[in-house]
Structure 1
Amino acid sequence: MAKSELWHRGDAVRRELIGQAGLASMQGVYDDPMMEKFGDYAREAVFAQLWSRPGLDTKTRTLICLISDTATHAWPELAIHLRMARRAGWTEDELSEALLHLCGYIGLPAVREAMIVAKTLFADMRAESGGGAGE
């Protein structure tokens, strides 16, 4: 089935946000027909429409996603959104501090899990780029 213009617009936004390494880590997720429908919807409704709206910059939108993921314990999504946040310009230290700040609002157990996800993702991203710590 041919993809809509909205799908293509959303796919371009998604690729920009997630990057090649992030997309490679998701390989196979959307191969199933049920998941393909989900992916199509996400590209059109979320990436083409929500992420492209005026009023907030991409960097701010990624932080909102981190907070939402941590509050709702959406750990696989948190890894995706942490990658997007790093690509949008947040440093590891800034994101760690933002997560730590949530301790007073959503609790230590959720933030602990979020920090574990962040630690793993940050190490993966450093390995992908072949280098440096904490930025």
Structure 2
Amino acid sequence: MDHLRPDRGGTGTTTRRQVLGDEHVDRAEAATTAFTRPFQEYVTEGAWGSVWSRPGLDRRTRSAVTLAALTALRAHEELPMHVRAARRHGLTEAEIAEILLHTAVYTGAPAANAAFTIAQHTLAEE
């Protein structure tokens, strides 16, 4: 990315690759256009270079929180890559199910039902 701040851009790119995998990041970078570049830089610096790179929580915990937040927001298109990331960070299928079930109590059954369906499909692909 052209305008990434060196401190957060490099860290963000490294962290993003470690969490989501090279294949996903390569696809995202290849699809970046002049129009989407500022957003990709924002995500790389902010989410990956600032937040996911902080020492306060381990990646396993961050993955659990992310699954809960994505379920609550019904961000279905983001769930598969973060289910894979959660597995990469050591969460078991049973733990992912517990996270989604726990989230249902606070966000509602429809949101969790969709998340369960997406997670089950994603886990079956592995």
Q: TM-score, with normalisation over the residues of structure 2?
A: 0.86
Match of 1:19 among 5, 18, 21: 21
SS of residue matched to 1:76: coil
Please state how far the C-alpha of 1:106 moved relative to its aligned partner: 1.4
State the identity %.
Answer: 34
Hey, what does 1:44 align to over in structure 2? Answer: 45
Distance 1:99 1:25, change over 3 A: farther
Counterpart code for 1:65 = T
Q: Find the aligned partners of 1:88 and 1:12 in 2 and give their Cα distance.
A: 15
Hey, what does 1:119 align to over in structure 2? Answer: 120
Q: Find the aligned partners of 1:2 and 1:45 in 2 and give their Cα distance.
A: 13
Q: Which 10-residue stretch deviates more, 62-71 or 102-111?
A: 102-111
Distance 1:26 1:91, change over 3 A: farther
Hey, what does 1:75 align to over in structure 2? Answer: 76
Q: 2:32, 2:40 within 8 Å by CA — same for their partners in 1?
A: no
Hey, what does 1:129 align to over in structure 2? Answer: none
Distance 1:122 1:27, change over 3 A: farther
Q: Find the aligned partners of 2:109 and 2:89 in 1 and give their Cα distance.
A: 26
Please state how far the C-alpha of 1:27 moved relative to its aligned partner: 6.8
Hey, what does 1:105 align to over in structure 2? Answer: 106
Q: Which 10-residue stretch deviates more, 13-22 or 111-120?
A: 13-22
Q: Find the aligned partners of 1:121 and 1:22 in 2 and give their Cα distance.
A: 15
In the alignment, structure 2 segments of 5+ residues that lack a partner are none
Q: What's the RMSD between the two structures over aligned residues?
A: 1.9
Distance 1:12 1:27, change over 3 A: closer
